A and B are shown apart, each in its own frame.
Chain A
């Protein structure tokens, strides 16, 4: 890793990605049906204009502060640190952002962008429901109609978020085809966008899909790392040694990592190990996948020998996805970021540890990142500093965890 970031070519290259065609090295691109191509170009133009438009940036900044509640705190988890007996653990508290997860950073940005582009309606996919809730929230704030696609398996395990979306005025469409999870919800949202592309903006929820989505989502999420950099410098007088984040599509991870890619800091992305890689029931694309093209981009993918996408499993709906953002694939191949995984059991254990030692119930997605901290911190000296991205809060998962533990909440 040191060798990579010591290379000045790397430092100048990494800031400029993606390239004009939307590639991060070999990954990314724009593999979309022709009906969407003009809309993708239109979106790219509108985004590049907004990026340098002072009034847009000021409005975004104002709403980040007054509506989302940014900056979110960087919290020193003293009791967790003591319990693990090694590196100092800080939590970036995205769970305290409005709607309870980092997803709002992107959804709000894209909602404002859609409004600016004159769109009347938003459509989006959701896995755990957090991005659906965030998009429904952005739509309410911007005064746009909103339709959310969600796999029927996820509708069942995230019933609370389904109701939240409806309260926010969104239509929720259950997707009952394929694996009935996030992947199928994306297919259906893209079909909706294809049919309604003139009036509708598709708010993709992660650093995935055809260019320019991976870039736009990363940029809107990169506020996480920008804040964390200032906060940790203030608290410790220096930058951290380790950054840890869970990786489904990979937006909270890119959000935290992006600001630090040219710095001498170890970064770890944690995928969903499900029931274990050997069982085949997981969503660890880097551990068990190969390169392919899905839903608009070239990246790592869990697929069979004929190029059909495999079913995945994770206790966490937000990580239960067969593919991963193309920039992550680039960062993996270049060796800049280490990717590992946590199993369902390890995540559930971390979920309980954080709840009991710190009084913070994390989202099951974020619990995967915590599980890696639980493994790593004890072996590190006490002067090392680690930031874990606490990407969301766990209220949505309480019902499911109760079910797994055999507790009946409905009586």
Chain B
């Protein structure tokens, strides 16, 4: 069966008993040119998959760090259209899987069908839309698989600590690529607490998913990345990287390498 780039990447890691490192940056913060450089830097530092945030005026699932980054990106004139064009440009330099993380309205306004077509053409591999639950995503899922199971865009949905078992089942079946497990009951960048309830819930999700599960939302230090790496197939780090790039860009490379090493050491 034909497989998507994200699926192949995650399978390879699994064969090597490795965990995926999935950093997130806000596209266009502070501008698109810098974003392109940072994608290359992230790949160089060992990222397996990269999430590019699309700035939106009303990011209600995000904490202050990503809200402010979105504000800066909008100020620099960043739009979904421009980010898709940037990915097209990036494809001359890298094959690393790229996922767009966007609120639904920019996609709706772009036109679902046109968005999927343009994103696929540009070389986008997957999409995460935090305010589009599977029950509202029927047409989007269908459009994302234009020629069968291994084609088009991977649709990645979120499972939350508050998701019931029935919801988890329907969410994981709508997911392709991997399942995004939200590690905290809250918004991005909140404080992570890896307790017994968390371990239990993520085990349930992994059992029901039968596909890779990556964890994100509250992972901010190499230590946390290591712990989460032990529990999941991939670790998503967003706010902490966005913050580092904004506040101490000179130390960002070191921080990203530390995260990578911490995730590598998850299995030791």
The verdict on A191 contacting B109 (CB below 8 Å), with A34-B171, A197-B162, A198-B185 known, is: no
Instruction: Specify the main secondary structure of chain A where it touches its partner.
Output: mixed
Among B60, B61, B106, B133, max chain A CB count under 10 A is at B60
Give Cα A35 to B131, complex, Å. 10
Q: Which of B18-26, B73-81, B226-234 forms part of the interface with chain A?
A: B73-81
Interface residues on B, range: 35 or more
B106 x A307 contact (CB < 8 A) = yes
The verdict on A34 contacting B74 (CB below 8 Å), with A178-B57, A187-B60 known, is: no
A294 x B130 contact (CB < 8 A) = no
Give Cα A29 to B71, complex, Å. 27
Give Cα A33 to B186, complex, Å. 10
Among A21, A32, A293, max chain B CB count under 10 A is at A293
A33 x B60 contact (CB < 8 A) = yes
Shortest Cβ distance from B61 into A: residue? A33
A293 x B162 contact (CB < 8 A) = no
> In chain B between 77 and 113, which residues have their CB closer than 8 angstroms to a CB of chain A?
79-81, 104-110
Give Cα A38 to B104, complex, Å. 20
Give Cα A307 to B106, complex, Å. 4
A169 contacts B by Cβ under 8 Å = no
CB distance from B204 to the nearest CB of A (A): 14
B15 contacts A by Cβ under 8 Å = no
The verdict on A187 contacting B58 (CB below 8 Å), with A34-B171, A194-B185 known, is: yes
CB distance from B260 to the nearest CB of A (A): 28
The verdict on A307 contacting B80 (CB below 8 Å), with A31-B133, A37-B133, A191-B187 known, is: yes
Please name all residues of chain A whose beta carbon is closer than 8 Å to the beta carbon of B186 when the two chains form the complex: 35, 191, 194-195
> In chain A between 159 and 186, which residues have their CB closer than 8 angstroms to a CB of chain B?
177-178, 183-184, 186
Please name all residues of chain B whose beta carbon is closer than 8 Å to the beta carbon of A183 when the two chains form the complex: 58
The verdict on A32 contacting B133 (CB below 8 Å), with A294-B58, A303-B109, A307-B108 known, is: yes
B159 x A34 contact (CB < 8 A) = yes
Shortest Cβ distance from A305 into B: residue? B109
B195 contacts A by Cβ under 8 Å = no
> In chain B between 226 and 264, which residues have their CB closer than 8 angstroms to a CB of chain A?
none
The verdict on A35 contacting B109 (CB below 8 Å), with A177-B67, A306-B80 known, is: no
The verdict on A191 contacting B60 (CB below 8 Å), with A32-B133, A33-B158 known, is: yes
Please name all residues of chain A whose beta carbon is closer than 8 Å to the beta carbon of B107 when the two chains form the complex: 307
> In chain B between 139 and 191, which residues have their CB closer than 8 angstroms to a CB of chain A?
157-164, 167, 171, 182, 185-187, 190
> In chain A between 11 and 50, which residues have their CB closer than 8 angstroms to a CB of chain B?
21, 29-39
Please name all residues of chain A whose beta carbon is closer than 8 Å to the beta carbon of B132 when the two chains form the complex: 31
Please name all residues of chain B whose beta carbon is closer than 8 Å to the beta carbon of A292 when the two chains form the complex: 105, 108-109
CB distance from A2 to the nearest CB of B (A): 34
The verdict on A178 contacting B105 (CB below 8 Å), with A35-B162, A37-B167 known, is: no
**B 49-70 binary contact with A (CB < 8 Å = 1; else 0):** 0000001111111011001100
Please name all residues of chain A whose beta carbon is closer than 8 Å to the beta carbon of B163 when the two chains form the complex: 34, 37-38
CB distance from A314 to the nearest CB of B (A): 18
B135 contacts A by Cβ under 8 Å = yes
Give Cα A89 to B208, complex, Å. 62
Among B108, B131, B171, B190, max chain A CB count under 10 A is at B131
Please name all residues of chain B whose beta carbon is closer than 8 Å to the beta carbon of A190 when the two chains form the complex: 60
CB distance from B73 to the nearest CB of A (A): 11
B58 x A309 contact (CB < 8 A) = yes
Give 13 CB contacts A-B under 8 Å.
A32-B133, A184-B58, A186-B60, A191-B61, A191-B186, A194-B61, A194-B185, A195-B185, A195-B187, A293-B105, A293-B108, A301-B105, A309-B57
Name B residues whose Cβ lies closer than 8 Å to a Cβ of A. 55-61, 63-64, 67-68, 71, 74, 79-81, 104-110, 130-133, 135-136, 157-164, 167, 171, 182, 185-187, 190
Instruction: Using A35-B185, A197-B185 as known contacts, list a sample of 18 further A-B pairs with CB atoms less than 8 Å apart, ordered by residue number in A.
Output: A33-B61, A33-B131, A34-B130, A34-B171, A38-B167, A178-B57, A186-B60, A191-B60, A191-B61, A191-B187, A195-B185, A195-B190, A293-B108, A295-B60, A303-B105, A306-B109, A307-B56, A308-B57
The 8 tightest CB contacts between A and B, nearest first, are A307-B109, A195-B186, A307-B106, A35-B160, A308-B57, A306-B79, A307-B105, A34-B160
